[in-house]
Structure 1
Protein backbone atom coordinates (compact mmCIF):
# COMPACT_ATOMS: atom_id res chain seq x y z
CA UNK A 1 0.00 0.00 0.00
CA UNK A 2 2.69 2.46 1.02
CA UNK A 3 6.09 3.21 -0.47
CA UNK A 4 5.22 2.61 -4.12
CA UNK A 5 8.86 2.41 -5.24
CA UNK A 6 8.09 0.42 -8.39
CA UNK A 7 5.60 2.91 -9.80
CA UNK A 8 6.60 4.95 -12.82
CA UNK A 9 7.16 8.54 -11.86
CA UNK A 10 7.28 11.96 -13.47
CA UNK A 11 9.40 14.88 -12.36
CA UNK A 12 8.50 16.25 -8.95
CA UNK A 13 7.02 19.40 -10.40
CA UNK A 14 4.93 17.61 -13.00
CA UNK A 15 1.25 16.84 -12.83
CA UNK A 16 -2.09 18.58 -13.03
CA UNK A 17 -2.85 21.74 -11.10
CA UNK A 18 -0.63 24.43 -9.58
CA UNK A 19 0.71 22.12 -6.85
CA UNK A 20 3.85 20.02 -7.05
CA UNK A 21 6.25 22.77 -5.96
CA UNK A 22 9.42 21.87 -4.06
CA UNK A 23 8.39 21.20 -0.46
CA UNK A 24 11.91 20.98 0.99
CA UNK A 25 12.16 24.66 2.10
CA UNK A 26 9.13 24.24 4.40
CA UNK A 27 9.80 23.11 7.97
CA UNK A 28 6.08 22.84 8.86
CA UNK A 29 4.20 19.82 7.57
CA UNK A 30 1.09 21.85 6.78
CA UNK A 31 3.04 24.32 4.62
CA UNK A 32 4.96 21.58 2.79
CA UNK A 33 1.79 19.58 2.09
CA UNK A 34 -0.01 22.70 0.86
CA UNK A 35 2.74 23.39 -1.67
CA UNK A 36 3.21 19.82 -2.86
CA UNK A 37 -0.01 17.83 -2.61
CA UNK A 38 -3.27 17.77 -4.43
CA UNK A 39 -5.99 17.49 -1.76
CA UNK A 40 -3.63 18.74 0.96
CA UNK A 41 -6.57 19.37 3.27
CA UNK A 42 -7.54 15.68 3.11
CA UNK A 43 -3.97 14.67 3.94
CA UNK A 44 -3.76 17.01 6.91
CA UNK A 45 -7.17 15.97 8.23
CA UNK A 46 -6.20 12.29 8.17
CA UNK A 47 -2.78 12.88 9.75
CA UNK A 48 -4.06 15.29 12.39
CA UNK A 49 -6.70 12.78 13.42
CA UNK A 50 -4.04 10.36 14.69
CA UNK A 51 -1.31 12.89 15.50
CA UNK A 52 -3.42 14.65 18.12
CA UNK A 53 -1.40 17.09 20.21
CA UNK A 54 1.94 15.40 19.56
CA UNK A 55 4.62 17.39 17.73
CA UNK A 56 5.88 16.47 14.27
CA UNK A 57 9.56 15.59 14.60
CA UNK A 58 10.20 14.96 10.92
CA UNK A 59 8.51 14.04 7.64
CA UNK A 60 9.01 13.24 3.99
CA UNK A 61 6.54 13.62 1.11
CA UNK A 62 6.15 11.75 -2.16
CA UNK A 63 4.10 12.46 -5.28
CA UNK A 64 3.95 10.27 -8.39
CA UNK A 65 2.09 11.13 -11.58
CA UNK A 66 0.99 8.28 -13.85
CA UNK A 67 -0.03 9.10 -17.39
CA UNK A 68 -2.69 6.71 -18.65
CA UNK A 69 -5.13 6.61 -21.56
CA UNK A 70 -7.75 8.25 -19.36
CA UNK A 71 -5.42 11.07 -18.27
CA UNK A 72 -3.11 11.79 -15.36
CA UNK A 73 -3.46 9.90 -12.07
CA UNK A 74 -1.71 11.18 -8.95
CA UNK A 75 -0.39 8.95 -6.17
CA UNK A 76 0.67 10.75 -2.96
CA UNK A 77 2.27 9.78 0.32
CA UNK A 78 3.38 11.43 3.56
CA UNK A 79 5.52 9.73 6.20
CA UNK A 80 5.46 11.57 9.53
CA UNK A 81 7.33 10.80 12.75
CA UNK A 82 6.13 12.16 16.11
CA UNK A 83 8.94 10.61 18.14
CA UNK A 84 7.05 7.44 19.05
CA UNK A 85 5.17 6.49 15.90
CA UNK A 86 5.47 6.50 12.14
CA UNK A 87 2.29 7.85 10.55
CA UNK A 88 1.85 6.99 6.88
CA UNK A 89 -0.79 8.71 4.76
CA UNK A 90 -1.44 7.63 1.20
CA UNK A 91 -3.91 8.64 -1.47
CA UNK A 92 -4.60 7.36 -4.93
CA UNK A 93 -7.16 8.29 -7.54
CA UNK A 94 -9.39 5.36 -8.50
CA UNK A 95 -11.70 5.12 -11.48
CA UNK A 96 -15.41 5.18 -10.57
CA UNK A 97 -17.88 5.52 -13.40
CA UNK A 98 -20.66 6.42 -10.95
CA UNK A 99 -18.80 9.40 -9.45
CA UNK A 100 -18.78 12.93 -10.91
CA UNK A 101 -15.59 13.31 -12.92
CA UNK A 102 -15.13 9.55 -13.14
CA UNK A 103 -12.73 9.18 -10.19
CA UNK A 104 -12.71 8.98 -6.39
CA UNK A 105 -9.85 9.59 -3.97
CA UNK A 106 -8.77 6.60 -1.89
CA UNK A 107 -7.26 8.11 1.29
CA UNK A 108 -5.58 5.75 3.75
CA UNK A 109 -3.66 6.19 6.99
CA UNK A 110 -1.47 3.67 8.79
CA UNK A 111 0.20 4.07 12.20
CA UNK A 112 3.27 2.08 13.26
CA UNK A 113 4.98 2.24 16.65
CA UNK A 114 8.69 2.86 16.14
CA UNK A 115 9.54 -0.26 18.11
CA UNK A 116 7.92 -2.33 15.35
CA UNK A 117 10.64 -1.23 12.91
CA UNK A 118 13.37 -3.85 12.91
CA UNK A 119 15.60 -2.57 10.12
CA UNK A 120 16.50 0.80 8.58
CA UNK A 121 18.62 0.93 5.46
CA UNK A 122 19.70 4.08 3.64
CA UNK A 123 21.73 4.15 0.44
CA UNK A 124 23.18 7.29 -1.16
CA UNK A 125 24.46 7.58 -4.72
CA UNK A 126 27.45 9.93 -4.71
CA UNK A 127 28.96 11.46 -7.87
CA UNK A 128 30.96 14.49 -8.94
CA UNK A 129 30.28 17.54 -11.07
CA UNK A 130 32.46 18.93 -13.86
CA UNK A 131 34.80 20.52 -11.31
CA UNK A 132 35.23 17.36 -9.32
CA UNK A 133 33.05 18.47 -6.44
CA UNK A 134 30.83 15.95 -4.65
CA UNK A 135 27.22 15.71 -5.82
CA UNK A 136 24.68 13.44 -4.16
CA UNK A 137 22.59 12.00 -6.97
CA UNK A 138 20.12 9.74 -5.19
CA UNK A 139 18.90 8.66 -1.76
CA UNK A 140 17.00 5.45 -0.99
CA UNK A 141 15.48 4.69 2.43
CA UNK A 142 14.01 1.31 3.39
CA UNK A 143 12.16 0.57 6.63
CA UNK A 144 11.35 -3.05 7.42
CA UNK A 145 9.13 -4.32 10.20
CA UNK A 146 8.71 -7.70 11.87
CA UNK A 147 5.13 -7.88 10.57
CA UNK A 148 4.56 -10.49 7.83
CA UNK A 149 3.52 -9.07 4.49
CA UNK A 150 3.77 -11.91 2.00
CA UNK A 151 4.07 -15.68 2.36
CA UNK A 152 5.31 -17.64 -0.64
CA UNK A 153 5.99 -21.33 -1.10
CA UNK A 154 9.50 -22.56 -1.84
CA UNK A 155 9.34 -25.82 -3.84
CA UNK A 156 11.27 -28.78 -2.51
CA UNK A 157 14.48 -29.86 -4.21
CA UNK A 158 13.77 -33.28 -5.77
CA UNK A 159 17.32 -34.36 -4.86
CA UNK A 160 17.00 -33.23 -1.23
CA UNK A 161 15.28 -35.04 1.64
CA UNK A 162 14.04 -31.69 2.98
CA UNK A 163 10.35 -30.91 2.43
CA UNK A 164 8.97 -27.82 0.72
CA UNK A 165 9.23 -24.66 2.80
CA UNK A 166 7.59 -21.26 3.04
CA UNK A 167 9.36 -17.94 2.60
CA UNK A 168 8.12 -15.03 4.69
CA UNK A 169 8.70 -11.47 3.50
CA UNK A 170 8.31 -8.75 6.15
CA UNK A 171 6.36 -5.58 5.54
CA UNK A 172 8.63 -2.83 4.28
CA UNK A 173 8.34 0.80 3.23
CA UNK A 174 10.52 2.44 0.60
CA UNK A 175 11.24 6.10 -0.06
CA UNK A 176 13.50 7.60 -2.70
CA UNK A 177 14.62 10.97 -4.02
CA UNK A 178 17.05 11.92 -6.77
CA UNK A 179 18.24 14.95 -8.69
CA UNK A 180 15.53 14.25 -11.29
CA UNK A 181 12.86 13.32 -8.75
CA UNK A 182 12.69 15.97 -6.03
CA UNK A 183 16.08 17.61 -6.38
CA UNK A 184 18.86 18.25 -3.90
CA UNK A 185 16.61 19.82 -1.26
CA UNK A 186 14.22 16.87 -1.01
CA UNK A 187 17.15 14.46 -1.06
CA UNK A 188 18.64 16.25 1.96
CA UNK A 189 15.29 16.17 3.75
CA UNK A 190 14.98 12.41 3.14
CA UNK A 191 18.47 11.87 4.58
CA UNK A 192 17.47 13.91 7.65
CA UNK A 193 14.30 11.83 8.00
CA UNK A 194 16.22 8.57 7.78
CA UNK A 195 18.77 9.78 10.32
CA UNK A 196 15.96 10.83 12.68
CA UNK A 197 14.36 7.38 12.54
CA UNK A 198 17.76 5.77 13.03
CA UNK A 199 18.19 7.72 16.27
CA UNK A 200 14.67 7.11 17.56
CA UNK A 201 14.03 3.44 16.73
CA UNK A 202 14.61 1.36 19.88
CA UNK A 203 17.68 -0.88 19.77
CA UNK A 204 15.89 -3.80 21.42
Structure 2
Protein backbone atom coordinates (compact mmCIF):
# COMPACT_ATOMS: atom_id res chain seq x y z
CA UNK A 1 0.00 0.00 0.00
CA UNK A 2 2.71 2.47 0.93
CA UNK A 3 4.62 1.69 -2.23
CA UNK A 4 1.59 2.54 -4.38
CA UNK A 5 0.94 5.71 -2.41
CA UNK A 6 4.56 6.77 -2.85
CA UNK A 7 4.41 6.33 -6.64
CA UNK A 8 1.23 8.37 -6.95
CA UNK A 9 2.06 11.21 -4.58
CA UNK A 10 0.56 14.51 -5.75
CA UNK A 11 2.64 17.37 -7.03
CA UNK A 12 1.72 20.92 -6.14
CA UNK A 13 1.21 23.23 -9.11
CA UNK A 14 2.13 26.77 -8.15
CA UNK A 15 -0.57 29.07 -9.51
CA UNK A 16 0.67 32.24 -7.86
CA UNK A 17 2.89 33.48 -5.03
CA UNK A 18 2.75 31.57 -1.76
CA UNK A 19 -0.08 32.91 0.35
CA UNK A 20 -2.53 33.28 -2.56
CA UNK A 21 -6.17 32.64 -1.76
CA UNK A 22 -6.79 28.87 -1.68
CA UNK A 23 -10.60 29.05 -1.46
CA UNK A 24 -11.28 28.74 -5.23
CA UNK A 25 -9.46 25.39 -5.43
CA UNK A 26 -11.47 22.25 -4.77
CA UNK A 27 -8.48 19.88 -4.87
CA UNK A 28 -6.07 19.78 -1.93
CA UNK A 29 -3.07 19.65 -4.25
CA UNK A 30 -4.06 22.85 -6.06
CA UNK A 31 -5.05 24.71 -2.88
CA UNK A 32 -1.80 23.80 -1.11
CA UNK A 33 0.20 24.76 -4.20
CA UNK A 34 -1.34 28.23 -4.20
CA UNK A 35 -1.20 28.84 -0.45
CA UNK A 36 1.69 27.04 1.21
CA UNK A 37 5.31 28.04 1.09
CA UNK A 38 6.33 24.37 1.41
CA UNK A 39 3.49 22.68 -0.44
CA UNK A 40 5.63 19.73 -1.52
CA UNK A 41 6.48 18.89 2.11
CA UNK A 42 2.82 19.15 3.18
CA UNK A 43 1.50 17.00 0.34
CA UNK A 44 4.21 14.38 0.82
CA UNK A 45 3.37 14.04 4.52
CA UNK A 46 -0.39 13.91 3.95
CA UNK A 47 -0.20 11.51 0.99
CA UNK A 48 1.93 9.13 3.02
CA UNK A 49 -0.97 8.80 5.48
CA UNK A 50 -4.07 9.14 3.33
CA UNK A 51 -2.90 6.68 0.67
CA UNK A 52 -5.61 6.07 -1.93
CA UNK A 53 -8.54 7.30 0.16
CA UNK A 54 -10.47 10.31 -1.16
CA UNK A 55 -10.17 13.72 0.47
CA UNK A 56 -13.67 14.66 1.63
CA UNK A 57 -12.80 18.13 2.89
CA UNK A 58 -9.96 20.30 4.13
CA UNK A 59 -8.99 23.69 5.51
CA UNK A 60 -5.63 25.46 5.36
CA UNK A 61 -3.96 28.07 7.58
CA UNK A 62 -0.78 30.11 7.20
CA UNK A 63 0.64 32.67 9.62
CA UNK A 64 3.76 34.79 9.11
CA UNK A 65 5.51 35.93 12.29
CA UNK A 66 8.12 38.66 12.25
CA UNK A 67 10.92 38.08 14.74
CA UNK A 68 14.40 39.45 15.34
CA UNK A 69 15.75 36.59 13.21
CA UNK A 70 13.40 37.51 10.32
CA UNK A 71 10.10 36.17 9.06
CA UNK A 72 8.92 32.75 10.26
CA UNK A 73 6.06 30.93 8.53
CA UNK A 74 3.68 28.62 10.43
CA UNK A 75 1.49 26.45 8.18
CA UNK A 76 -1.35 24.01 8.93
CA UNK A 77 -3.65 21.68 7.00
CA UNK A 78 -6.62 19.76 8.39
CA UNK A 79 -7.86 17.02 6.05
CA UNK A 80 -10.79 14.62 6.43
CA UNK A 81 -10.99 11.38 4.44
CA UNK A 82 -14.35 10.31 5.85
CA UNK A 83 -13.05 8.27 8.75
CA UNK A 84 -9.99 10.17 9.99
CA UNK A 85 -8.86 13.72 10.67
CA UNK A 86 -5.33 14.25 9.39
CA UNK A 87 -3.52 17.28 10.81
CA UNK A 88 -0.28 18.57 9.31
CA UNK A 89 1.64 21.59 10.45
CA UNK A 90 5.09 23.04 10.01
CA UNK A 91 7.17 25.87 11.35
CA UNK A 92 10.64 27.10 10.65
CA UNK A 93 13.22 26.60 13.40
CA UNK A 94 16.57 28.27 13.72
CA UNK A 95 19.51 25.92 13.14
CA UNK A 96 22.94 27.48 12.84
CA UNK A 97 24.34 24.25 11.38
CA UNK A 98 21.83 24.09 8.50
CA UNK A 99 22.31 25.93 5.20
CA UNK A 100 20.31 29.13 5.37
CA UNK A 101 20.19 28.97 9.17
CA UNK A 102 16.74 27.32 9.45
CA UNK A 103 15.09 23.90 9.18
CA UNK A 104 11.45 23.06 8.62
CA UNK A 105 9.78 21.17 11.47
CA UNK A 106 7.04 19.14 9.73
CA UNK A 107 4.65 16.98 11.74
CA UNK A 108 1.52 14.96 11.03
CA UNK A 109 -1.15 13.69 13.44
CA UNK A 110 -3.96 11.26 12.63
CA UNK A 111 -7.17 11.05 14.66
CA UNK A 112 -10.03 8.61 14.03
CA UNK A 113 -13.28 10.56 13.80
CA UNK A 114 -14.79 8.50 16.60
CA UNK A 115 -12.22 10.03 18.96
CA UNK A 116 -13.80 13.46 18.44
CA UNK A 117 -16.46 13.99 21.05
CA UNK A 118 -17.43 17.59 20.31
CA UNK A 119 -17.75 19.72 17.18
CA UNK A 120 -18.55 23.36 17.92
CA UNK A 121 -18.88 26.08 15.30
CA UNK A 122 -19.69 29.75 15.84
CA UNK A 123 -20.44 32.00 12.86
CA UNK A 124 -20.46 35.80 12.89
CA UNK A 125 -23.29 36.92 10.61
CA UNK A 126 -23.71 40.51 9.45
CA UNK A 127 -24.76 42.55 6.42
CA UNK A 128 -22.93 44.25 3.58
CA UNK A 129 -23.46 47.79 2.30
CA UNK A 130 -26.56 46.68 0.36
CA UNK A 131 -28.14 45.00 3.36
CA UNK A 132 -27.47 41.47 2.15
CA UNK A 133 -26.52 38.80 4.67
CA UNK A 134 -22.82 38.05 4.87
CA UNK A 135 -20.72 35.72 7.02
CA UNK A 136 -18.03 37.86 8.65
CA UNK A 137 -16.19 35.12 10.52
CA UNK A 138 -16.27 31.54 11.72
CA UNK A 139 -14.69 29.68 14.65
CA UNK A 140 -14.50 25.88 14.65
CA UNK A 141 -13.52 23.79 17.69
CA UNK A 142 -12.93 20.02 17.62
CA UNK A 143 -12.49 18.47 21.06
CA UNK A 144 -11.44 14.93 21.81
CA UNK A 145 -11.80 12.77 24.91
CA UNK A 146 -8.02 12.56 25.22
CA UNK A 147 -6.57 14.55 28.17
CA UNK A 148 -4.23 17.31 27.11
CA UNK A 149 -3.47 19.19 30.34
CA UNK A 150 -3.83 18.29 34.01
CA UNK A 151 -3.97 21.07 36.59
CA UNK A 152 -3.94 20.47 40.33
CA UNK A 153 -6.53 22.40 42.30
CA UNK A 154 -5.55 23.13 45.94
CA UNK A 155 -7.93 21.95 48.60
CA UNK A 156 -10.32 24.57 49.96
CA UNK A 157 -9.22 25.61 53.44
CA UNK A 158 -12.87 25.58 54.55
CA UNK A 159 -13.53 22.13 53.11
CA UNK A 160 -13.73 19.18 55.53
CA UNK A 161 -11.91 17.09 52.89
CA UNK A 162 -8.15 17.66 52.98
CA UNK A 163 -7.48 16.08 49.56
CA UNK A 164 -6.82 18.32 46.58
CA UNK A 165 -8.56 17.78 43.26
CA UNK A 166 -7.53 18.21 39.64
CA UNK A 167 -9.01 19.61 36.46
CA UNK A 168 -8.40 17.94 33.10
CA UNK A 169 -8.50 19.80 29.80
CA UNK A 170 -9.25 17.64 26.77
CA UNK A 171 -7.21 17.98 23.62
CA UNK A 172 -8.87 20.47 21.28
CA UNK A 173 -8.15 21.86 17.83
CA UNK A 174 -9.28 25.34 16.83
CA UNK A 175 -9.67 26.91 13.41
CA UNK A 176 -10.85 30.38 12.47
CA UNK A 177 -11.36 32.62 9.45
CA UNK A 178 -12.51 36.22 9.15
CA UNK A 179 -12.90 38.88 6.47
CA UNK A 180 -9.45 40.19 7.43
CA UNK A 181 -7.90 36.73 7.79
CA UNK A 182 -8.80 34.64 4.76
CA UNK A 183 -11.74 36.54 3.33
CA UNK A 184 -15.26 35.40 2.44
CA UNK A 185 -14.13 32.44 0.33
CA UNK A 186 -12.09 30.84 3.12
CA UNK A 187 -14.87 31.58 5.62
CA UNK A 188 -17.28 29.61 3.42
CA UNK A 189 -14.80 26.75 3.03
CA UNK A 190 -14.24 26.48 6.79
CA UNK A 191 -18.00 26.48 7.39
CA UNK A 192 -18.33 23.63 4.87
CA UNK A 193 -15.51 21.75 6.62
CA UNK A 194 -17.16 22.16 10.02
CA UNK A 195 -20.50 20.97 8.68
CA UNK A 196 -18.84 17.94 7.10
CA UNK A 197 -17.28 16.95 10.42
CA UNK A 198 -20.57 17.57 12.20
CA UNK A 199 -22.22 15.05 9.87
CA UNK A 200 -19.45 12.45 10.05
CA UNK A 201 -18.49 12.46 13.72
CA UNK A 202 -20.31 9.57 15.44
CA UNK A 203 -22.97 10.31 18.01
- The answer to whether the superposition gives a TM-score over 0.5 is yes
Aligned ranges 1:41-190 → 2 under 5 Å: 41-162=40-161, 163-190=163-190
Aligned equivalent of 1:199: 199
* Alpha-carbon offset, residue 129 of structure 1: 2.2
Query: Does residue 1:23 correspond to 2:8, yes or no?
Result: no
Q: Which has the higher Rg, Structure 1 or Structure 2?
A: 2
CA–CA separation in structure 2 for the residues paired with 1:129 and 1:187: 15
Higher relative contact order (CA 8 A, sep 6+): 1
CA–CA separation in structure 1 for the residues paired with 2:40 and 2:175: 22
* Alpha-carbon offset, residue 30 of structure 1: 0.3
CA–CA separation in structure 2 for the residues paired with 1:55 and 1:18: 27
User: Which stretch of structure 1 is more off in the superposition, 126-135 or 179-188?
Assistant: 126-135
SS at match of 1:55: coil
Which ranges of structure 1 fall in alignment gaps of 5 or more residues? 1-16
In the TM superposition, structure 1's runs of 4+ consecutive aligned residues that sit over 4 Å from their partners are: none
* Alpha-carbon offset, residue 104 of structure 1: 0.4
CA–CA separation in structure 1 for the residues paired with 2:31 and 2:198: 23
How many residues get paired? 187
CA–CA separation in structure 2 for the residues paired with 1:131 and 1:199: 33
* Alpha-carbon offset, residue 36 of structure 1: 0.2
User: C-alpha root-mean-square deviation of aligned residues, in Å?
Assistant: 1.0
User: Which stretch of structure 1 is more off in the superposition, 104-113 or 155-164?
Assistant: 155-164
SS at match of 2:148: strand
* Alpha-carbon offset, residue 189 of structure 1: 0.2
* Alpha-carbon offset, residue 161 of structure 1: 1.8
* Alpha-carbon offset, residue 103 of structure 1: 0.6
* Alpha-carbon offset, residue 113 of structure 1: 0.1
* Alpha-carbon offset, residue 164 of structure 1: 1.1
Tell me the TM-score normalised to structure 1 length. 0.90
